[in-house]
Amino acid sequence: MDFTSDFTMTIGGKPVAGATTMSVLNPATEQVIAEAPDCSRAQLDEAVAAARAAFPAWKATPFEKRRDYLNAVSARIFENLEGLKRLLTLEQGKPIGEAEFEVGAAGMFVQGTASLRMPESVNEDSAERRSITRHVPIGVVGAISPWNFPVVLAFFKVGPALLAGNTVVLKPSPFTPLTTLKIGEMLRDVLPPGVLNIVSGGDALGPWMTSHPGIDKVSFTGSTQTGRKVMESASASLKRVTLELGGNDAAIVLPDVDVATLAPNLFWAAFANNGQICIASKRMYIHKDVYEPLRDAIVDYAKTVKVGDGAEQGTQIGPVQNKQQYRRVLDLIEDSKKQGHKFLLGGEAMDGPGYFVPVTILDNPPEDSRIVQEEQFGPVLPLLKVEDIDEAVAKANASEYGLGGSVWSGDPDKALAVGERLETGTVWINETQHLSPLAPFAGHKQSGVGVENGVDGLLEYTNVQTVVVRKA
């Protein structure tokens, strides 16, 4: 397969060129790397019609058989890991090792999803009647993915949606459509036509999908701001929605930690994927007894990390993915400068080309500053000194977000007692960002509606059906 050109949409199992095209840039060079199709409204209608046409047969396909299809999807992704990871680095910017991890994770999540069972419960089994509740597919799912993990986050949706018996129209972000389009191409002979359709396009395409009368459910991952628009648009036809949105995860550090071991772990909790992770640690509340040594150890470690083009050997952090986000991150840095916050590292844009921002660490900025309160989604981290752990928990919870959080301590039980007080969908103890196809992942508060992964995630792609049989 050619991973460098001929990017087409997949509609009804066939390649479809865009009515027009849109340019996709490499964020490390700002050079155009390819033209991607810009889906027209008529083409979206075709994709939805193809998904609707494929739905009855797919729904009627036995669950075990759909599971085999998922395993075949996973195998095809793994077979093409080499080409896909290079393409992902080119369009997304992340280092090649991280791109390999992401594509592999997509394969692994689809495989893990295939091992889930659909629950069925018996409500009554008496002499008069038998009442059971089962879960039936919804119909056509519109899946919308973001640019930070374009591949794995798309397959968080595609795997369970298909396993549950739905058909899908998937739309990647216009910043990172290429790897997803190629996966669509390689799955054309794996899945029946129309079961998985992939369309790419500009800013109009998402709203067309969320308001499309032929789409029954929207599964969206992206910012909280866009999530609100998606929910509003979907409400017109009462589409089911799953929204995985933004976060401002806190890491809480107890005074009994081993500073030398912890510093690199905390660094990557914040800076992996250049900080562009919904569940990155975006503010760190460190107990005063260990604040100075840990701060210095994190900064010393940060100085050893190489920022550069993700395609180059040795790069550990790539560019910010797109110009819009690059400007947003620089704006937050500018604000901190204006407020007179103390910078321990970074703080200046790097020479172009490319959307490079150096690793930037701030020393105890005020709690009400933008860099603490807002989701930075980039390589800027505020370290915050707290008097005690109650203060840390109160500050961690005083957020509109509730995605994840972590607690770090030499004593896991002590950390767990703190973690249980966090108002977030996931709590990690002495690690962070570990996700599994078997474990539900959900956002509290403004971080989302609904669940992905695990049986709870699978059930999001179903309607409940209770069947009551009167016995003779």
Total number of residues that touch ligand NAD (CB under 6 A): 28
Do 241 and 232 contact (CB within 8 A), yes or no? no
Between 276 and 409, whose beta carbon lies closer to ligand NAD?
276
Told to check if 245 binds ligand NAD by CB under 6 A, we report yes
Q: x-or-dash pattern for ligand NAD, window 402-431, by CB under 6 A?
A: -x----------------------------
Residues 77-116 that bind ligand NAD (CB under 6 A): none
- Cα-Cα-Cα-Cα dihedral of 38, 39, 40, 44, to 10°? -170
Told to check if 353 binds ligand NAD by CB under 6 A, we report no
Between 221 and 274, whose beta carbon lies closer to ligand NAD?
221
Between 97 and 207, whose beta carbon lies closer to ligand NAD?
207
Helix 150-163 × helix 63-79 angle, to 10°: 160
Of 319, 443, 450, 454, the residue at the interface with ligand NAD (CB under 6 A) is: 443
128 in catalytic set? no
Min dist. Cβ of residue 369 to ligand NAD (A): 19
Q: Given 100, 278, 452, 460, which residue is catalytic? A: 278
Between 399 and 409, whose beta carbon lies closer to ligand NAD?
399
Token pair, residue 20, equals 């027009």
Do 95 and 316 contact (CB within 8 A), yes or no? yes
One-letter amino acid at 290 equals V
Do 268 and 301 contact (CB within 8 A), yes or no? no
Of 43, 375, 422, 458, the residue at the interface with ligand NAD (CB under 6 A) is: 375
Q: x-or-dash pattern for ligand NAD, window 127-166, by CB under 6 A?
A: -----------------xxxxx----x-------------
The span from the CA of 2 to the CA of 213, in Å, is 36
Of 67, 130, 188, 229, the residue at the interface with ligand NAD (CB under 6 A) is: 229
CB within 8 Å of 33: residues ≥ 6 apart: 24, 25, 26, 90, 91, 178
Between 377 and 461, whose beta carbon lies closer to ligand NAD?
377
Residue of 202, 191, 183 whose CA lies nearest to 58: 191
Q: Which residue has the tokens 């669950």?
A: 63
Q: Given 91, 244, 452, 460, which residue is catalytic? A: 244
Min dist. Cβ of residue 262 to ligand NAD (A): 24
Between 247 and 365, whose beta carbon lies closer to ligand NAD?
247
39 in catalytic set? no
Q: E-assigned strands of 277-423?
A: 281-287, 342-345, 360-363, 380-386, 401-402, 404-408
CB within 8 Å of 313: residues ≥ 6 apart: none
CA pseudo-torsion sign 185, 159, 59, 66: positive
So which residues are the catalytic ones?
A: 244, 278
Q: Which residues bind ligand NAD (CB under 6 A)?
A: 144-148, 153, 171, 173-174, 206-207, 210, 221-223, 226, 229-230, 244-247, 278, 375, 377, 403, 443, 448
